[in-house]
Structures are given as C-alpha cells and as structure tokens.
Chain A
Amino acid sequence: MVTSITDDMFTGEAIADPYSYYGKIRDEDPVYWNELYELWVITKHDDLVWMTRNHELFSSEFWARDKRPPYPAIDESDMGLYAYMREFFMDWFIQHDRPVHTDQRKVVHKWFNPKSMEMWRPMVQQVIRDMLDEADQNGKMDVMKDFATPLPLFIIAQMMGMPYQDRQFIRSMAEKLLFIGRGEADRMQPLVDGIKELQDYLAPMVDMHMDLPTDEDNLLSVLTSGGKNGVLTRDEVIADAILLLLAGHETTINLICNGTLAFMQHPEQWQLLKEDTLDSPNAVVRATEECLRYDPPVKSIQRIASEDVELGGKLLKEGDRIRWFISSANRDPDKHPEPDTFDITRWPNTHVAFGSGIHHCLGATLARLEAQEAFKSLAERYDKITLETDEFEYQPSVTFRSLKNLPVSLENAAP
C-alpha cells in the first residue's frame, strides 16, 4: 500500500516532479498495482534490470497482447482509431520478442554501432557551431526550440536522406505522435492523423528504395533492404522508418534540454564542467551520463507478462500490463548513493536511461555523441548562461520528460 497517493499519473504534481511521485511508490510499495489503470508500476533499479534481462517472461508485444481497455480511458467513439493505432505500433520492431526482434533489429543494428556513429561526429560539431553562431547574434536562445530540437532532428533526417526543407513537417508530425504518452480522452485523433501523414510521406520513398540497390550511406535504404530480403514487410519498413525518425530525435531533445537545465540549477557543476572539459575528454562523457541518470528523457517503458511471475512478493499474472519507471530507478538509493544529488563526476554510472537487455536503445551511441558535443560546446563557448525563467512547464506525458521551453541568455567567454 502506498499512503495517500493518487493513481492518476497526469496530475500537475506527478508531471512536474516525477521523482517525488514515483519515488514515494518506490519507497513504500516498489511493485505497485495501479488500480485506476490496471497496471503494475515497477520502480526499483534491480527489478527493472532483472525484468529486462528476462525478456522471455516480459513480452514487448504490448500492443498485440493487451486485452484490457485503453489507459487512461479514451472517448468511446474513438475505438476505431485506437484499433488503427495498435495495428500500426505492432509493426515496430521494438514491439517484437525473440527471435523476430533479433532478425529485424539486425537490419539496422550495424548502422548504429559505436564505430559507425563516430563518423557522424564532425557533422554534429558543425551543426552545433552553426546553431550557436546564430544564437550569439541575439545573445539569447530558447534551448528547446533553437538548440535541443533542431540538432538531433537535423542529424536523423540527414541520415535517412530526408529533404532538408521537410524537417519542420517531420517535427510537427512527431508532435502529433507524442500524444501516445498523454492522457486526454480525445488524444486518438491527433495521434492517428500524425501516423497517417507520416505513412503517406514515407511510402513513396520506401518504394523507391525497394527498386534501387542498397545505399549503405542512407539509413532509409539500409532499413528498406530488410524489405527486399523478406525480414520486413513493406508496412513494417514504413513503420520502422517512423520509429527511427521519432526515437531518433524526440529523446535526445530532452537529454540536451534537461541536461542544460540541470547545469543551470547547479552552477558549481557547470563550473566544474567548464574547468574539467579543458583537461580531460572524459569529463563531458561522465557529465552526460549523469544528465541521463538525473533527469532521464524517457520516464517509463511498457511490457506485458508472458506468464505468471512472482516479483517482490506480488503475483504478476500472464497478460498483466507492466510499466517500469526509469525516473525512479535512476534515483534508487539502493543503487545510487545520494541519488538526488547532481554530481557530474559520478562513476561508474549504472543508470538505465537507455533501458537494458535485448531492447537496450539502438540509438544510445548517437544520443550520447550529440549530447556530449552539445554540452562541450556550451561549456567552451559561454562564460555564463542565465535562465530567463523560473517556471518550468513539462509536456503532460507519462513516457517523455519534456520541457516546453527553456529560454536563456548567453555571455560569451573571452576569445
């Protein structure tokens, strides 16, 4: 039992401060049955890792297997849209278990390995330079809109060979797809609109690649090779292309933005980063890991129990819905000493911001690279970054920890 807590995960308090809300559950009832959503809430680091490593017990086929009504509830008239959405998400390779998952992930796995990703570093550095040069003209920026969003969006769109001028369209569709993590009863319409528009946008590109020899320098072409050799259907190629576009920027946006905010709220850590970055390339690597731990971009992940499993004295029944919370696992005092302290020298940093096990984030190396370069550039370029607001409003999502805006003013370091 958790004393005096509401099961509604979308209240102002739970959205503003997930660390208190899920932390309380973790400390009082770590394997918690949320009655309102008919959902197991998993909040401890060790339980989360154990579950990811026992993927046979906890299926990723959430949308194919969930038999309970949507949570939070949706408008009765939207059940058709709900069915369409499920069909679409079922095609994501992330939504499969072994052995299908392995075959499908391997279509694009090599593209994202650490060695391949390193080749993108110069482009990331160039894009950052251009963006900050522009911000310097104004002496200020909205970190979210002018920096954290355009950088990863530019890179993933570039990788997939999307025309430069389409980025705004991709972003606005991504914003519609983000309704997946929200709670409004009428959220299905924008969600399905976004899915359909992206499907229509990508289908001709996928069909074109189907007829061309595979171009190893184009991620969409590499993905489409899975369609040529029968590992993926055409619909699956299109769905996975949407997955890559979406996961390829939405998450990293929040890492850069949440990390920058953490530095602004902990000036001594910012100072430390500025000093240490000059001495050691490791400093920014460790700092980025601490940003991932302290304010993780992805708050929670869903699974469905494949069989009856006992965990923490509770019986999770076959078919039960599960959501595990990275936000509380990363602040678990049994794993991280002084978990609520932002300490960029923390090492080793065993956070689970990218999940763990067979579904460990495909794009982790890319996200790390982009964020490391972003934090390093900010630290090298600016003497002082000042927050121009003291109100921080987050998207009402149970999946993403996402600020709406982050206005700052900038003071350049002496050249």
Chain B
Amino acid sequence: MAKLRISVDHDICVGNRMCETFASKVFVINENGQSEVADPEGDTEENILEAAENCPVSAITVVDEETGETLFP
C-alpha cells in the first residue's frame, strides 16, 4: 500500500466528525472538536479516501508520499 500524507485544514474543519466514522484510527477529534491525523497508516487507503470524500467541507487532503500525487481532493 502506498504511504499517504494526510492533513486536515483547521481553518476549514467544522468538527462534523464524519471522517472519524469512516476511519477512526486515522482521524481523531482534538480538544477543539476538530479532526487530527493520529495514524496515517491506521486504515486502508480506500477508507481514508472515503473519509476525505465525505468531509462536508473538504478539509482533508490526501497525498501519495512516494509519487507526490494528490489523491484527494
């Protein structure tokens, strides 16, 4: 599996917590109620991309670490 670089833009994240429901080991909610990346290898690429796609405000970016390709958005 490709190594992923995942980030959450905290200017945008509204704490909807949907990412957590799709990949709960990868995305955890911090004290401000916003999402943080805890373990980028905590779930399958498919689930991580599904989490990113279902963030209602597109706050999540997923990049393939090796090729530099942006997988989402």
A357 touches B16 (CB 8 A): yes
Within 8 A of A (CB), among B1-60: 11-12, 14-18, 21, 32-34, 53-58
Task: Map CB proximity to B onto A338-367 as digits: 1 under 8 Å, 0 otherwise.
Answer: 000000000010100010111011101100
B28 to chain A, nearest CB (A): 14
A251 to chain B, nearest CB (A): 15
- A281 interfacial contact with B, CB 8 Å: no
Which interface residue of A49, A112, A358, A361 has the most chain B CB atoms within 10 A?
A358
Q: Known interface pairs A102-B21, A106-B21, A357-B33. Does A53 touch B15 (Cβ–Cβ under 8 Å)?
A: yes
* Interface size in chain A (residues, C-beta < 8 A): 23
- Interface Cβ pair total, 8 Å cutoff: 50
Q: Known interface pairs A54-B33, A348-B11, A358-B15. Does A364 touch B21 (Cβ–Cβ under 8 Å)?
A: no
Q: Which of B15, B54, B58, B73 sits near A360, CB closer than 8 Å?
A: B15
A148 to chain B, nearest CB (A): 23
Closest to A348 in B: B11
- A113 interfacial contact with B, CB 8 Å: yes
Closest to A115 in B: B53
A360 touches B16 (CB 8 A): yes
B21 touches A112 (CB 8 A): no
Closest to A350 in B: B11
Contacts of B33 in A (CB 8 A): 49, 52-54, 357
A357 touches B15 (CB 8 A): yes
The answer for the CA separation of A354 and B34 in the assembled complex, in Å, is: 16
The answer for the CA separation of A364 and B16 in the assembled complex, in Å, is: 12
Q: Known interface pairs A53-B33, A357-B33. Does A110 touch B16 (Cβ–Cβ under 8 Å)?
A: no
The answer for the CA separation of A109 and B12 in the assembled complex, in Å, is: 19
Contacts of B12 in A (CB 8 A): 348
A358 touches B58 (CB 8 A): no
Contacts of A356 in B (CB 8 A): 14-15
B26 to chain A, nearest CB (A): 17
Contacts of B32 in A (CB 8 A): 53
Closest to A354 in B: B14
The answer for the CA separation of A255 and B72 in the assembled complex, in Å, is: 29
- A204 interfacial contact with B, CB 8 Å: no
Q: Known interface pairs A52-B15, A102-B21, A358-B15. Does A364 touch B56 (Cβ–Cβ under 8 Å)?
A: yes
Contacts of B16 in A (CB 8 A): 357-358, 360
Q: Known interface pairs A53-B33, A102-B21, A357-B33. Does A113 touch B53 (Cβ–Cβ under 8 Å)?
A: yes
The answer for the CA separation of A102 and B54 in the assembled complex, in Å, is: 13
Q: Known interface pairs A53-B32, A53-B33, A106-B21. Does A114 touch B14 (Cβ–Cβ under 8 Å)?
A: no
B9 to chain A, nearest CB (A): 10
A314 to chain B, nearest CB (A): 21
Which interface residue of B15, B56, B58 has the most chain A CB atoms within 10 A?
B56
Q: Known interface pairs A53-B32, A348-B11. Does A358 touch B57 (Cβ–Cβ under 8 Å)?
A: no
Task: Map CB proximity to B onto A51-81 as digits: 1 under 8 Å, 0 otherwise.
Answer: 0111000000000000000000000000000
B56 touches A113 (CB 8 A): yes
B54 touches A109 (CB 8 A): yes
The answer for the CA separation of A106 and B22 in the assembled complex, in Å, is: 10
B47 to chain A, nearest CB (A): 14
Closest to A357 in B: B15
* Nearest 5 pairs of A and B residues by beta carbon: A53-B33, A360-B16, A360-B14, A356-B14, A357-B15
24 A-B pairs in the complex with CB atoms less than 8 angstroms apart:
A52-B33, A53-B34, A54-B33, A102-B21, A112-B56, A113-B53, A113-B54, A114-B58, A348-B12, A350-B11, A356-B14, A356-B15, A357-B14, A357-B16, A357-B17, A357-B33, A358-B15, A358-B16, A358-B17, A360-B14, A360-B56, A361-B56, A364-B56, A365-B56
